[in-house]
Amino acid sequence: MSPAGIVQFVVLLVAIAVTVPFLGRYMAKVYGEHPDHRGEPLPAPGDRVFRPIERLVYRVCRIDPSAEQRWTAYGLSLLAFSAVSVIALYGILRLQGHLPGNPTGVEAISPAVAWNTAVSFVTNTNWQAYSGEVSMSHLSQMIGLTVQNFVSAAAGMAVIVAIIRGLIRRHATTLGNFWVDLTRTITRILLPLAFIMAVALMAGGVIQNFTGTDTITTLEKQEQTIPGGPVASQEAIKQLGSNGGGFFNANSAHPLENPNPLTNFIELWAIVAIPLAFPFAYGRMVGDRRQGRVLLAVMVGLWAVAMVLTGISENSGNPELASRGVDQGVTATQPGGNMEGKEVRFGPSTCALWVGSTTGTSNGSVNCMHDSLTASGGGVALFSMMLGEMTPGGVGVGLMGLLVYALLSVFIAGLMVGRTPEYLGKKIQAAEMKLVVIYLIAMPLAVLGLAAIAIRLPTVLNESILNPGAHGLSEVLYGYASAGNNNGSAFAGLTASTSWMAISQGVAMLIGRFGLIIPALAIAGSLARKQRVPATAGTFPTTSPLFAGLLGGVLLIVAGLTFFPAFALGPIVEALQ
């Protein structure tokens, strides 16, 4: 990585170290208290402002905030809310040509792409098989996509809170109330943060208006059309909520969406702020801050490695150019690194920081084109998603995945010493491990299964894959890994708007979201019913560096064994060529 990249990385870490612990403590206070005997949540920051709003929401929606739900009811509430959201968003996209708030006069989205987009935003994937400024009306962007940016992120955050309750409760049958957790997440965390960030982005030059397009005359006396729209408000929650779907097709590489290094830094901080705050909140909620620090160390360690490796790859330039120069007896390098697909105002180092963050958090936004990364740089991005989006992971669901792997790690440690494994004083037994296995295989089945089918279909080979050989396979594999891990970024050489790709990726998104959340909630429900057992000399400590190393190793080994054959045929072959 270049010196400039190192400085940016250090400044980002300092900003995170200063701000994220405060956010984590605030989130723990929002989530960590049980309702009192009147059904009202115990005091939390901002009650004077937020509690009247929440009471109004409960009254209008007929929600009893004192009623808690079993894991089955919690999961069914999530599924029902998501199903209604998919139907509503699909309807908006299909009818947008007849709805107001359409200054550019765009027509309805095609059925396949509307399905893909609706599922994408409801599952927090935000894959874009469309060009935003050309295909979407302002109403669709605001009422459809931006609303889902809030509620899909809040749903993921609510789920991890329910799972944490399952770990800390004893002889309990309930995990909280999905509707209360969803409401409090939106009102107390996402809306205030998004408002502050939107103002900061507008101050930095991100546009926020309701115009369609403006036609200007350039210095060369040529006319140019400049698109407008409510960009800053969508950009804020796009990054904070691990969403990633941009107002413009170029996403955060667009100068009206991310105009300068300052806005780039703000957006980069926002991508990782809530995912990294959750371990702090977790440590406080379980009553042992060391537990959160261990998970944070694993998140930050693997995230940092991904950024450094990508930075080295992109700053080294294109190896193909250097090898051709050697064949011709000259030195051929790329001054400044691999600039293909990069914005001049950012460069390879800033691109590397963004790539490591966006593929490790299920955010999916881009400030450079991933299809133009070197083979090794693109391979790092692909492998970061294959880890399961836990380093540091999406809002809520990242910590959820890491906790599932923590259970697997203590189970493996228990097998080594010949005793029943325990985590936070709860015995991990056959019922939990069966659910862990379901969690582990759901995403790979969706990614590898659908990718294998896709590369055998003539329509995909002839219409979707634009590059031959290993890179073409990498494009398909990246597309399904992005969908199955609810990431949303893409290798731009893959045409994803065809019927097969749009529909099958929507299926992968659903499996990658609910095929993991439901088993995780079931694990939480099982653990909530158990009593804590006291720690003994034989209890494997889960607050030590040894456990952090074991957890990171298990994560890498499982992902490596699962995806290495396909990975070897794509990025590795391309790099060797």
Domain-located, residue 365: no
Domain-located, residue 133: yes
**Is it the case that residue 333 has pLDDT exceeding 80?**
no
Domain-located, residue 261: yes
For 339-353, write each residue's pLDDT tens digit: 888 888 888 999 999
**Identity of the amino acid at 549:** G
Domain-located, residue 184: yes
Please report which confidence band the pLDDT of residue 94 belongs to, taking 50, 70 and 90 as the band edges.
Answer: very high
Domain-located, residue 205: yes
Domain-located, residue 175: yes
Domain-located, residue 45: yes
For 23-48, write each residue's pLDDT tens digit: 999 999 999 754 443 445 567 788 89
Task: Report the domain count for the chain.
Answer: 1
The position carrying tokens 């300052």 is 262
How many degrees, rounded to 5, is the angle at CA 358 between CA 353 and CA 361? Answer: 120
pLDDT of residue 36: 41
3-class SS at 531? coil
**Is it the case that residue 63 has pLDDT exceeding 50?**
yes
> Distance of CA 130 to CAs 34, 109, 257, 396, 523, Å?
44, 9, 17, 27, 37
Expressed as residue numbers, the domain containing 113 is 32-273
**Is it the case that residue 282 has pLDDT exceeding 70?**
yes
Nearest in space to 384 (alpha carbons), one of 469, 313, 452, 316: 313
The position carrying tokens 């893409």 is 490
Structural tokens at position 60: 């209008």
Instruction: Provide the strand spans (E) within 179-282.
Output: 213-217, 223-227
Question: What's the mean per-residue pLDDT of the chain?
Answer: 90
Please report which confidence band the pLDDT of residue 519 belongs to, taking 50, 70 and 90 as the band edges.
Answer: very high
Domain-located, residue 178: yes
User: What are the backbone angles phi and psi of residue 103, rounded to the nearest 5°?
Assistant: -65, -20
For 416-463, write each residue's pLDDT tens digit: 877 779 999 999 999 999 999 999 999 999 999 999 999 999 888 888
Give the C-alpha separation, 43 to 397, whole Å: 26
Give the C-alpha separation, 133 to 106, whole Å: 10
How many degrees, rounded to 5, is the angle at CA 46 between CA 41 and CA 48? Answer: 80
More confident residue, 117 or 218: 117
Residues facing residue 368 across a β-bridge: 342
Mean pLDDT of 212-219: 85
Mean pLDDT of 370-385: 92
**Is it the case that residue 553 has pLDDT exceeding 60?**
yes
CA dihedral 11, 12, 15, 21 (to 10 degrees): -140
